[in-house]
Structure 1
Amino acid sequence: MFIVLLKFSDNKAKASEYMDSHNAWIKKGFDDDVFLLVGSIEPGAGGSVIAHNSTLEEIQSRVNDDPFVSEDVVKAEIIEISPKKADERLSFLLA
């Protein structure tokens, strides 16, 4: 499981230019059953993704395909987590 932090770079002003393609990238992550949750880092600092069903290399490749990353709108940090305990509603994450 991974937490991906997408923190705005000095090129934040270019975000609107790539928003449609960034949203398509997000949709593909959900369609591929990799993304579990996507949201903003408040206050207006960027975005975050919780992902699973992938290796670190696959996540790195997917993150590099995000137009926000490739166009230097955000800087990505990938944190790998090995879940050990979860609320029963999230038990599927322990598999």
Structure 2
Amino acid sequence: MYIIDIIYKVSTTLIDQHMEAHIAFLEKHYHSGNFIASGKKEPRTGGIILAIAENKKIIEQIMAQDPFYINQLADWNIIEFKPTKSIKAFTALLEGCA
């Protein structure tokens, strides 16, 4: 599992101009099974994506397709995360994605 921390480099006005393309990017990777949750940070300085993949390189390749990244609007940091404790529903979700 990976936590992707997206950090905006520009104003939210510019971010909003590319939001539709970013949402299409998110939808593509929800359908592929790589993304399991996403949302804006508060205060609105970026976003977070929870993702799963066989390795970090796959996540890096996916994130290189993000319109925010392509248009130099945001950077990202990928943190590998190995859940050791969670509610049963979350564990079942992860097992279903494996």
Pair in the same fold by TM > 0.5: yes
Does residue 51 of the first structure (1) align with residue 51 of the second (2)? Answer: yes
Partner of 1:19: 19
Matches within 5 A, 1:11-90: 12-90=12-90
Percent identical: 25
Partner of 2:68, secondary structure, is helix
Partner of 1:4: 4
TM-superposed CA distance for 1:11, in Å, is: 5.5
Partner of 1:83, secondary structure, is coil
Partner of 1:62, secondary structure, is helix
CA distance in 2, matches of 1:25, 1:86: 28
TM-superposed CA distance for 1:29, in Å, is: 1.2
Q: Is the 8 A contact 1:11 1:74 kept in 2?
A: no
TM-superposed CA distance for 1:14, in Å, is: 2.2
Structure 1 stretch 52-61 or stretch 21-30: which is displaced more?
Answer: 52-61
Structure 1 counterpart of 2:62, one-letter code: R
Structure 1 stretch 6-15 or stretch 52-61: which is displaced more?
Answer: 6-15
Q: Is the 8 A contact 2:38 2:47 kept in 1?
A: yes
Deviation per residue, 1:51-90 (Å, 9 max, x gap):
1134200000101100101111111011001122221111
Question: Where do 5+ consecutive residues of structure 1 fail to align?
Answer: none
Give the ranges of 4+ consecutive aligned residues of structure 1 lying more than 3 Å apart after TM superposition: 10-13
Question: Where do 5+ consecutive residues of structure 2 fail to align?
Answer: none
CA distance in 1, matches of 2:90, 2:12: 34
